[in-house]
Structure 1
Amino acid sequence: MKMNDAFLASMHEAMELLHTAGPLQATAVIQRALNQSDPAPASKSAPMPAQVVQHLLEHHFVAPDTTSEQRYKTTTTVGDFSVGQFSNQAGKRAYKLYKPRSEMHARMPLVVMLHGCTQDADDFAAGTRMNALADKFGFMVMYPIQPPTANPSKCWNWFRRGDQQAGSGEPSILAGMTQEVIANHHIDPDRVYIAGLSAGGAMAAVMIQSYPELFAAAGVHSGLPAGSAHDLPSALAAMKGGKVLSAAKRNAATPRRPLIIFHGDADCTVHRSNGDRLIEPYERGGAQKRVEYGSSGAGRHYTRGLVKTPGGIDAEFWLLHDTGHAWSGGGGGTYTDPKGPDASAEMVRFFLSHPQSSLL
């Protein structure tokens, strides 16, 4: 069912209000448009509330695309990049698995990479250059693929209640897929990690909170904390930087695994305050903290915060200055910033220094 032109115009008005007046005003426009819709027969193309939610979330998350010449230019790799399928009671997803050519006698780590909206496995692999790092350091990389049938813009559905808990929805699929790959390949179960960009980063935050026994550490690039949203108004508020988490939810989000965060301070898609919210639970109590300042070879400056909780759990927050909604240090795929520090290399460094432990 397609949305009619009048309703699309109302939604574009709502998007303008989102940027200028805030989510409450934007939601009011949506509700008014719904109330004013004629009770048309089923044969007419009347919009449904679910379509409104989907349209706004997708268009707010999707950044301007790069040119076609920039897409899929990737560093040469020598391993095997194959397609797999996984299904369970929650649904079915395809994935691509990269295996370095060099034989490893010891079990290898696994890094699960969750792409952003409009991306796919090949695009994300090209943009992050993670496969080249897999060749260098000897680990496998799995790229789950979100199909347009699950989300028209291929966003992971981080904002839906049914996709935020262990044992249900997309978290169940991603966890089951990871467990199947571990069982079928020469992978060390104590060195399994997950990372993502934007909507993929938000889902990576959900996964590390929901499955700390499966993932040893996580990386969130330009994402949001788990539980940031449960519907349209809260999702828009979270992306804009509004206060959406209650004190009870914040207190429940006690860190159980190491986390590395990257976020641009000029990100107009997911406000930088979401990076602050991700690191905040690690900074409570008597946490050890220190701050470093640096710049990439291309002159992109950053502030790096290092935190260790009283329980000994590490976290890093890289605040990328003058950087928008893009993977820092990436190149070849969409939504990358080649001038920034190498987020992929820093994530791998962080991951490999944090194998699974008994801390929960």
Structure 2
Amino acid sequence: MRFSPTTLAVSATLASLASALSSSLQQVTAFNDGPTKAGMYVYVPSGVSGPAPIIVAIHYCTGTANAYFSNTQYANLADTHGFIVIYPNAPSSGGCWDVASTASLTHNGGGDSLTIVNMVKYAVANFGGDADRVYATGSSSGAMMTNVLAGAYPDVFKAGSSYSGVPDGCFYVAGAQPGQDTPGWNSQCSGGTLIKSAQEWGDQVRSYYPGYTGSYPKMLIWHGTADTTLAYPNYAEALKQWSNVLGVSQTATNQNTPDAGYTQSVYGTTLVGYSGQGVGHTVPVHEAVDLAWFGIA
């Protein structure tokens, strides 16, 4: 995860705005529902009335819950729109999420994915969260986890927004174990050379929750053409995957949307891709677009 000078300036501005928030980021020390040791941090706006929507905002490798809280505007917008934000904190020393183990890629199988789902359940039970309005978003490793949650727990999440990630399960490494200090890394995937058909990608997602017949979350997929960390071909692979899972095909292409230099690819009402020309790793978070996609604002 690399920050440009502009991003650092924005981060400083957001940090100064933190004092204007109605509440503060809280570490939920009472949460111990694992199975991994990911930390639960939460922002609950003062006076929020339940049941309130929940956004799970997931940090990148080398990041922390506190960093993602400071470097994004979800907390500020939570004050305006009355939703709860969960900021999970990765248990690994490098701050990466387990998106490689069979456990994390399996419904109720374990790993960091189940720990995050248990955070959602805790927020519903203790903070007035709405179990029917739960959404996930994240950058880089957090984007990968967003896809994992959407695939393994479609009964929990209604929508996702993935910034500069890879297809769900692309990082699978045979023998990777949940709770490892350094989760598995898949160089073929990160390099953009792991290519599958849409059907193969879709079947991989469906294998995480055998017998599930309900709907899957609608998805936003963001990627920059100049990404040298998680190569740009992963963008097309992710769109292939989710178009198959959601049973949709491309219906429109719009230039300079939502910003100049971005190309929007629309797949009906359940899948949208955003390709940023010349954008590196990672795509800047577009919180307002996310909230509209989630139906919160």
Which TM bucket (shorter chain)? 0.7 to 0.9
1:269 alignment partner, one of 229, 236, 239: 229
How big is each residue's C-alpha offset from its partner over 1:34-60, in whole Å with a ceiling of 9 and x where there is no partner?
Answer: xxxxxxxxxxxxxxxxxxxxxxxxxxx
Q: Is the 8 A contact 2:101 2:111 kept in 1?
A: no
Alignment correspondent of 2:103: 162
Instruction: Measure, in 2, the Cα distance between the counterparts of 1:307 and 1:286.
Output: 6
Q: Which runs of 5+ in 1 are unaligned?
A: 1-61, 331-342, 355-360
Instruction: Measure, in 2, the Cα distance between the counterparts of 1:119 and 1:99.
Output: 21
Instruction: Measure, in 2, the Cα distance between the counterparts of 1:236 and 1:349.
Output: 34
1:318 alignment partner, one of 253, 274, 284: 274
Give the AA of the match of 2:226. A
Give the AA of the match of 2:279. T
Q: Percent identity?
A: 23
Number of aligned residue pairs: give it: 270
Q: Is 1:256 paired with 2:188?
A: no
Give the AA of the match of 1:133. L
Q: Is the 8 A contact 1:72 1:123 kept in 2?
A: no
Instruction: Measure, in 2, the Cα distance between the counterparts of 1:213 and 1:139.
Output: 20
Alignment correspondent of 1:289: 251
Q: Is the 8 A contact 1:221 1:261 kept in 2?
A: yes
How big is each residue's C-alpha offset from its partner over 1:130-172, in whole Å with a ceiling of 9 and x where there is no partner?
Answer: 111111221110100113xxx2211112123333222211111
Q: Is the 8 A contact 1:128 1:327 kept in 2?
A: no
Give the AA of the match of 2:156. L
Q: Is the 8 A contact 1:127 1:327 kept in 2?
A: no
**Alpha-carbon spacing, 1:244–1:163, altered in 2? closer, same or farther (3 Å):** farther
Alignment correspondent of 2:57: 113
Alignment correspondent of 2:291: 348
Give the AA of the match of 1:115. H
Q: Is 1:142 paired with 2:111?
A: no
Give the AA of the match of 1:125. F
Alignment correspondent of 2:40: 95
How big is each residue's C-alpha offset from its partner over 1:324-358, in whole Å with a ceiling of 9 and x where there is no partner?
Answer: 11241x5xxxxxxxxxxxx111111101169xxxx
TM-score (norm 2): 0.81
Instruction: Measure, in 1, the Cα distance between the counterparts of 2:3 and 2:81.
Output: 33
Q: Which runs of 5+ in 2 are unaligned?
A: 175-183, 207-214
**1:262 positional shift:** 1.1
Q: Is the 8 A contact 1:291 1:305 kept in 2?
A: yes
TM-score (norm 1): 0.68
How big is each residue's C-alpha offset from its partner over 1:105-130, in whole Å with a ceiling of 9 and x where there is no partner?
Answer: x5210000110011112211222211
**Alpha-carbon spacing, 1:304–1:103, altered in 2? closer, same or farther (3 Å):** same
Structure (1/2) with the larger helix percentage: 1
Which of structures 1 and 2 has the bigger CA Rg? 1
Instruction: Measure, in 1, the Cα distance between the counterparts of 2:69 and 2:83.
Output: 14
**1:246 positional shift:** 6.8
How big is each residue's C-alpha offset from its partner over 1:82-121, in whole Å with a ceiling of 9 and x where there is no partner?
Answer: 11143236232222111122443x5210000110011112
| Residues 64-75 of structure 1 mapped to structure 2, 5 A cutoff | 70=9, 73-74=13-14, 75=17
CA RMSD of aligned residues (A): 2.8
**Alpha-carbon spacing, 1:226–1:316, altered in 2? closer, same or farther (3 Å):** same
